[in-house]
A = this chain, B = another copy of it.
Amino acid sequence: MPEQISTVSSTALRSFIAACFQATGMPEADATTAADLMTKADLIGQDGHGVFRLPMYIRRIRAGGLNVNARFRRVQERSATALIDGDNGLGHLVMHHATELAMEKAEKTGIAWVGARHSNHAGPASLYAMMPLKKDMIGLYIAVGSANHLPPWGGTEMLLSTNPIAVAIPAMNRPPIVLDMATTVAAYGKVKTAAQRGQQMPEGWMIDRNGDPLTDPARAAEGFLLPIGGPKGYGLSLIFGILAGTLNGAAFGRDVIDFNADATSVTNTGHLILALDVKAFADPAEFRHGIDKVWEEMKSSPLLPGVKEIRLPGERLQRVLAERSDTGIPISAPLRAQLAGVASDLGVDPL
């Protein structure tokens, strides 16, 4: 039976999400900002990180696990750095605030690094890395993932998360280069999708507690995700966790709360955003042309047999953004039903 998919315009989705957040008591301006970012996640094709997460956010808010009236506080500040306490607010709002601050600082100092603690899940990493693009800045975002899915290399206790990184770099006539990746071969969402579809996973995504390949996604709970490049990906996950977690006084390692399994404990999620002003290094137009040249060069490489084209990171994102801005955002029937339940609970008009 094919999955039922209907589409919704970004305007309608944005209004719906904002109405839901407002119904929980979130101030209108914050509800609008959050709705805007979550809709953007869907517009750029990050289906697992947009409105798909709304039911969980609402559940956490109603369970008292997320503060809709969060007041952000600068715990530490220097001219090019800050540490924000997110007061257990929605991650999107914390990181939107942190990124605005980083851009404001980088305008003066050339670079800024803003960390956050007592935050929550903030959607896709690329949302924040891309914000500085409009100021001719490069953005870099790192987060401690919201559940642990892999052990240190050689171990069996899941002490690390997929700790993602996103970097966005402006181009001139080409789309920006936007890398958005987990430090594991597959994100956990891909395992869930394979399970839903009854498909096997390729070797290399997961291993079991004996170190053998695990290819049946129904057995995912018996194993762990594998980091990219083995010990290298373990090292990246560890370093990113320290920079986004430990350094900010946020959770890392055994302290990480699985936010899907536990809706009430304070997650103390940590993230960081770095904004780097291209103008502090180069003429922005010249640099952007240089990035176009990188595009042309990579695209011009001869291809391996069976490969249709070289892609650059962020290329698919831009294509999906253009398509969905035009034709709307696809919503599966089960998600639409879930969202109808949320609407009914909150007393807002359904999508």
Q: Which residues of A contact B (CB under 8 A)?
A: 76, 78-81, 83, 108-113, 115, 138, 151-157, 159, 167, 169, 177, 179, 181, 185, 209-211, 228-229, 231-233, 235-236, 238-239, 242-243, 246-249, 252-254, 276-278, 280-282, 287, 290-291, 293-294, 297-298, 300-307, 309-313
Contact = CB atoms under 8 A, between A and B. Distances in A.
Contacts of A181: 229, 232, 235-236
A235 B238 CA distance: 19
7 contacts: A78-B111, A79-B79, A154-B307, A155-B303, A177-B238, A228-B228, A253-B297
B80 A169 contact: no
How many identical subunits does the complex contain? 2
A167 B242 CA distance: 11
The A contact surface, by secondary structure, is mixed
Given A156-B302, A231-B313, A252-B294, 16 more contacts: A80-B80, A109-B109, A154-B311, A156-B301, A156-B303, A156-B304, A169-B242, A177-B242, A179-B236, A179-B238, A181-B232, A181-B235, A228-B229, A228-B233, A235-B313, A242-B294
A205 to B, nearest CB: 11
Contacts of A293: 253
A204 to B, nearest CB: 9
